[in-house]
Amino acid sequence: MSATLSGKRILLIIAGGIAAYKSLDLIRRLRERGAAVRCILTKAGAEFVTPLSVSALSGDKVYGELFSLTDEAEMGHIQLSRDADLLVVAPATADILARMAAGLAHDLATTALLATDKPVLAAPAMNVRMWNHPATQRNLAQLKADGVRFVGPNDGDMACGEYGPGRMAEPLEIVAAIEAQFDGADLPLKGIKALVTSGPTHEAIDPVRYIANRSSGKQGHAIAGALARLGADTVLVSGPTHEPDPAGARIVRVESARDMLAACEAALPLDVVVCAAAVADWRVANEAAQKLKKQDGKPLPSLTLAENPDILASLSQRKKGRPRLVIGFAAETEKLLENAKAKRARKGCDWILANDVSPGTGTFGGTRNTVHLLAGDSFEDWPTASKEEVADRLAHRIAAALNGGVQ
Ligand code: PMT
């Protein structure tokens, strides 16, 4: 028996890969520790292990058909995932990961995964080339952003004769990941309050027009998701974007820089702040109450600008209740590192991530970013990576710093 797993209800989805044989042992290990295991065996999974073995080991019937009248009468497909404390996909093949990432629901396994509001842990298992394929890596990034957790894959000899990452984690490693999921032991930011700003701000000219910029919110949203995945109690203060809400973060939607500052101050006290938003430096001083009219023969309207509050500087320079770690971005089109260094000094933040936003880099609105982290006296050049990877790396770096590691 394990205090962590005793009485926990796990819905194990066994997809079609050679590693399915290890899932039989996984069922045994989980039940030894007092967990109740209910299984969905996909059609392809049943090519590798039999429903009879799965049923004998789990001590329960095995679910397989989406359109089974008897299954639906006993336990509806929605109820299956609702009744569980955790969904585990093992082996998680390239195919089921792709279908999860796309939100497909054409069999019982994917329907249960789409219908669930419970945490999902996946143990990938596939050929090394399939694992390394950009499509699989894209799907993984999407699933991580959706809040799915992963254990493995491990490096090693594969059934197909190749060597590399792709072997499913061993049953006891999966058990450890499940236990960690329940007791939060692998969440280095548990108990930490984090705030991320993201997206552009809109500064009204009149009730229908505004000044804005090209920020999509992709980078900031990815950072909020990554911090939440590491256990931080995360607030995302977002300007207007079309990005989906990152799993696990509380979203506060704002329009203008002044609204954004008010939302950030309302979220205090905080341990860590990441200002990834592209906040407008100026707003229109004389915002019109009514729509400005085009008037033939009259002079063109002129806009007078007023300076917006600087959110990063104001949080960094708080005398009382300053967050322990304040991180800014520097979006530059020239003299990247020089300007970023000066910006960190001027605003008073602890770290700054410099990124080149010149035309042609695709940083604004794109899916990838090349950042340089100024955390001490010199810059660390991070490799160009997806915005999710940049976010994961930053989140782990934050966890190391807050837990007493390098600053
Ligand atoms: O949103 P994406 O399309 O994914 O693009 C990501 C990004 C390029 C927007 C992001 O990586 C980024 O660089 N964000 C900061 C953009 C910016 O406004 O940079 P800045 O150099 O003008 O500002 C420096 C820092 O001060 C930033 O942390 C900014 O959030 C903050 N700031 C700026 C002005 C202001 N009034 N208040 C602020 O808090």
Q: Which atom of ligand 1 is nearest to the CA of 353?
A: 13
Secondary structure element (H or E) that encloses residue 402, with its range: helix 387-402
Judged against a pLDDT cut of 60, whether residue 406 lies above it is answered with: no
Predicted confidence (pLDDT) at residue 23 exceeds the cutoff of 60: yes
Q: Locate the domains of the chain by residue range.
A: 9-183, 193-283+297-402
Of 3.40.640.10, 3.40.50.720, 3.40.50.1950, 3.90.1150.220, the CATH number of 9-183 is 3.40.50.1950
Q: Is the pLDDT of residue 265 over 60?
A: yes
| CA nearest to 192, candidates 249, 232, 250, 248 | 232
CB atoms inside a 10 Å sphere around CB 362: 12
DSSP sequence for 251-290: EEE--SHHHHHHHHHHT-S-SEEEE--B--SEEETT--SS
Q: In angstroms, what is the span from residue 245 Cα to ligand 1's centroid?
A: 19
Specify the pLDDT at position 164. 79
Is residue 165's pLDDT more than 90? Answer: no
Same fold, 9-183 and 193-283+297-402: yes
Q: Which atom of ligand 1 is nearest to the CA of 330?
A: 21
- pLDDT of 26 > 60? The answer is yes
Sheet holding 325-332, edge to edge: 250-253, 233-238, 193-198, 272-275, 325-332, 351-356, 371-374, 379-381
Among 232, 245, 310, 229, which residue's Cα sits nearest to residue 275?
310
User: Does residue 399 have a pLDDT over 60?
Assistant: yes
For residue 204, the surrounding DSSP H or E stretch is strand 203-204
Whether pLDDT at 65 is above 80: no
pTM for the whole thing? 0.72
Over residues 365-388, the pLDDT tens digits come to 999 999 999 998 889 999 999 999
Q: Which helix (H) or strand (E) holds 37?
A: strand 36-41
CA of 92 to the centre of ligand 1 (A): 37
What is the rounded distance in angstroms from the CA atom of residue 88 to the CA atom of residue 125? 13
- Decide: 222 in ligand 1 pocket, CB within 6 A: no
Q: What is the position in ligand 1's atom list of the atom closest to the CA of 355? A: 13
Please give the pLDDT value at position 61: 92
CA dihedral 347, 353, 357, 360 (to 10 degrees): 170
153 closest CA partner among 134, 140, 135: 140
Question: What is the arithmetic mean of pLDDT over 87-103?
Answer: 97
Ligand 1 mean position, distance from CA 331 (Å): 6
The pairing of beta strand 149-150 with beta strand 120-124: parallel
Task: Give yes or no: 160 in active site.
Answer: yes
d(CA 270, CA 273): 7
- In terms of Cα–Cα distance, which of 250, 242, 235, 142 is closest to 200? 242
Ligand 1 mutation pick, 275, 325, 326, max ligand atoms within 8 A of CB: 275
With a 6 A CB cut-off, is 20 part of the ligand 1 pocket? no
Average per-residue pLDDT for the chain: 92
Render the burial of 72-99: b for 16+ CB within 10 Å, e for the rest.
eeeeebeebbeebbbbbbbbbbbbbbbb
Asked if residue 63 has pLDDT above 70, the reply is yes
Q: Which of 29-43, 174-188, 252-266, 276-290 has the lowest mean pLDDT?
A: 174-188
Please name the fold of domain 193-283+297-402: Rossmann fold (3.40.50)
Residue 73 reports pLDDT greater than 70:
no
Q: What is the arithmetic mean of pLDDT over 315-323?
A: 97
Cβ distance 120 to 92 under 8 Å? Answer: no
- pLDDT classification of 155: cutoffs 50, 70, 90: confident
CA proximity to 55, closest of 37, 70, 71:
37
Quick check: CB of 49 below 6 Å from ligand 1? no
What pLDDT score does 304 carry? 96
Q: Which whole number is the average pLDDT over 22-37?
A: 97
User: pLDDT category, 404, cuts 50, 70, 90?
Assistant: confident
Q: At 74, is the pLDDT very low, low, confident or very high (cuts 50, 70, 90)?
A: low
Q: Is the CB of 386 under 6 A from ligand 1?
A: no
**237 Cβ contact partners less than 8 Å away, ≥ 6 residues apart:** 195, 196, 197, 198, 252, 254, 260, 263, 264, 267, 277
For residue 117, what pLDDT is reported? 86
Residue nearest atom 19 of ligand 1, based on CA coordinates: 331
The Cα 256–Cα 104 span in angstroms is 37
Q: Is the CB of residue 310 below 6 angstroms from any atom belonging to ligand 1?
A: yes
- Does residue 390 carry a pLDDT above 80? yes
Give the residue-averaged pLDDT of 249-254: 95
